[in-house]
Chains A and B, each alone.
Chain A
Amino acid sequence: DAKTTQPPSMDCAEGRAANLPCNHSTISGNEYVYWYRQIHSQGPQYIIHGLKNNETNEMASLIITEDRKSSTLILPHATLRDTAVYYCIVLIYNQGGKLIFGQGTELSVKP
């Protein structure tokens, strides 16, 4: 599975949009981009995933560049409860790819 690169930490003001980048320059055509987050002392939580089109759900939006070498997770109106470690993962769908969690980005939402 392709490796991902994320900044180790980011800050965001409460109520503002949080934009979390992820580089996956070696991604192959059949690999999806997944985002999970882990709030302190809890298990990881699925956020969103996509292949090449931008995706949006009730939690976030996922913007994938046209060459698919990078993506951005957007939390449109960050709250204090969004403070967590965010993991970007790429893997092949339906072919036994493992969820490999890197170090992620520690997002701190500040009042």
Chain B
Amino acid sequence: DAGVIQSPRHEVTEMGQEVTLRCKPISGHDYLFWYRQTMMRGLELLIYFNNNVPIDDSGMPEDRFSAKMPNASFSTLKIQPSEPRDSAVYFCASNKQGIQETQYFGPGTRLLVL
């Protein structure tokens, strides 16, 4: 199994630009999670999906952030417009049973907004 796949691995952009992060969960996993990690705030859950439906988006910081899951094998996290404070590592994770079960994390996308 290839594990959770994220792309790009690194992204550098300028303030105001749109950023799209992509995630492919492990095949057969019904749940997908998006996390953000910064030095100041640590690892935070942004949103999670069950069977492609958003279940809890209370961690999404503001309206500039949006996430979609058009099918079981693909999800996007979009930031528009991006700001320097969005610079962080964004992780995607997936599992079969839900938020309490073992979550399998991807390698992350390192985002730098200048």
Genuine A/B complex: yes
Binding site for B on A (CB under 8 A): 32, 38, 41-46, 49, 87, 91-103
Q: Is the CB of B43 within 8 A of A91?
A: no
Instruction: List 17 other contacts, CB 8 Å, given A44-B43, A92-B100.
Output: A32-B100, A38-B43, A42-B105, A42-B107, A42-B108, A43-B4, A43-B105, A43-B108, A44-B91, A87-B43, A91-B99, A94-B100, A96-B56, A98-B99, A99-B45, A100-B45, A101-B43
Query: Smallest distance from the beta carbon of A49 to chain B beta carbons, Å?
Result: 8
Q: How many A-B residue pairs have CB under 8 A?
A: 48
A97–B56 CA distance with the chains assembled, in angstroms: 11
Chain A residues touching B, majority SS: loop
Asked, given contacts A101-B42, A102-B42, A103-B42, whether A43 binds B100 with beta carbons under 8 Å apart, the answer is no
Question: B residues within 8 A CB of A94?
Answer: 98, 100
Contact partner of A99 (CB less than 8 A), chosen from B103, B104, B107, is B103
Known contacts A98-B45, A102-B42, A103-B42: does B91 contact A43 (CB below 8 Å)?
Answer: yes
Separation of A32 and B108 alpha carbons in the complex (Å): 27
- The answer to whether A43 and B45 have CB atoms under 8 Å apart is no
Decide yes or no whether B102 CB sits under 8 A from chain A.
yes
CB distance from B106 to the nearest CB of A (A): 6
Whether A99 pairs with B99 at a CB distance below 8 angstroms is yes
Contacts of B107 in A (CB 8 A): 42-43
Instruction: From known contacts A43-B106, A98-B45, infer whether A91 and B100 are also in contact, taking CB-CB under 8 Å.
Output: yes
In the assembled complex, which residues on chain B have CB atoms less than 8 Å from the CB atom of A87?
43
Pairs A–B under 8 Å by Cβ, sample size 8:
A42-B107, A43-B91, A43-B93, A44-B91, A44-B103, A46-B104, A92-B100, A101-B43
